[in-house]
Amino acid sequence: MAKASSTGVRPTIRMVAELAGVSTATVSYVLSGRRGDGGPGVSDPTAEKVKAAAERLGYRPNQAARAIRTGRTNTVILSLTMLSDPWSLSVIEAVQKAAVPLGITPMILGDADWVKVLGTHNADAVFVDAVRGNQRDDLRKLAARGTTLVVFDEVLDAEGFDVIRSIAGPGCRMAVEHLLHGHRRIACLTPATASGTSGGSRYRAYSDALASAGIPERQDYVGLFDGTTAGAYAASTRLLSMPDRPTAIYATTDYAAVSAINAAQRLGLGVGVDVDIIGVGNTVEGERMSPSLSTVGPVDFFDKLARRLLKRAAGHGDHDEPAVLDFPWHLFVRESAPHRSTATRLY
């Protein structure tokens, strides 16, 4: 049984070198596993001695020190504003699956204030899931300083960083039009902050589709909430408790749609029967729940996102130009808002 370092001090490469009776360079070669591919060869007995010494001391290379020398951190940062949103969990899941085999560690930044953090902390690549108007300049500055960015946004251009975009507008339009096949009294459930930001296009799809169908928009059919799950639940309850309640709800995010389903069931309404509910985003949670959530969303979005991010993180030399990646949207018809024919329509 090795005694390990009971000194309370972290073992350094130098201690390993001393214990093995070699130089620090040799240790570095052996432990970073690069001998033979152009790097100097090290004799097997020496390599063994080094490995044994490292093991005995419990040596692990110091990433901070390595980063300062190599410029690589083997880390990607995910800046996620709404951690409770299933969308964020899907991002995390996909990135983690793709990162682990590459020896890259994903670190999650829950704070919305990524500007300050990314200025001082480095990562091989950074994913940012929401950019407010006044942060556009910060993004450009970060990119100019060499930070590798992948940004999720519907309007930004690729000014030194990748932009992942999934044009919500047409997709959302499809969602509302799907409801229009069976309904006239359609409500919209959307966070209050979304009026100005990217969510705005999701709401606009609702307005436009209704207008095209010749249905006047009712103010009391717009359920604004504060962005929380509880808020979405409350707003849904209000909508579904009205005397002339809507027969369908278009929710601008999947998690809001999930809350709406729970609220409807609480009120004793059959989801997909008495009331249809459709979401936006195509998250796994929606697919797995019961009744399964009808939704619109990009296909394979999360995997593609993860691939892009890790390609940027790993491929330090490859210089694909930063680009805008556009993901097409599909309509996923499931139980919460099934197909409606003239026979089954609710008006």
In the complex, the smallest distance separating the C-beta of residue 137 from a copy of itself, rounded to whole angstroms, is: 9
Contact with DNA (CB under 7 A) among 29, 87, 114, 161: 29
Residue of 97, 185, 170 whose CA lies nearest to 326 = 170
**The Cα angle at residue 74 between residues 72 and 77, in degrees rounded to 5:** 105
Q: How far is CA 117 from CA 103, 214, 310, in A?
A: 23, 49, 20
User: Which tokens in the block code for residue 254?
Assistant: 């999947």
Size of the site for a copy of itself (CB under 8 A): 55
- List the interface residues with DNA, window 64-103 (CB under 7 A): 65-66, 68-70
User: Which tokens in the block code for residue 299?
Assistant: 């296909």
Residues with Cβ within 8 Å of residue 179, at least 6 apart in sequence = 186, 248, 250, 276, 278, 337
Q: What is the dihedral of CA 255, 260, 263, 264, to 10 degrees?
A: -140
For position 52 contacting DNA by CB under 7 A, the verdict is no
Residues with Cβ within 8 Å of residue 219, at least 6 apart in sequence = none
Nearer to a copy of itself, 128 or 186 (CB): 128
Q: Of the listed pieces 29-37, 44-52, 98-106, 298-306, which binds a copy of itself according to CB under 8 A? A: 98-106
For position 317 contacting a copy of itself by CB under 8 A, the verdict is no
For position 328 contacting DNA by CB under 7 A, the verdict is no
For position 31 contacting DNA by CB under 7 A, the verdict is yes
Q: Which residues bind a copy of itself (CB under 8 A)?
A: 4-6, 8-11, 58, 60-65, 67-68, 73, 75, 83-84, 86, 89, 92, 96, 100, 105-111, 117, 119-122, 141, 144-146, 228-230, 233-234, 237, 262, 265-266, 268, 285, 288-290
Q: Which residues bind DNA (CB under 7 A)?
A: 10, 12-14, 21-26, 28-29, 31-32, 34, 40-43, 45-47, 59, 61-62, 65-66, 68-70
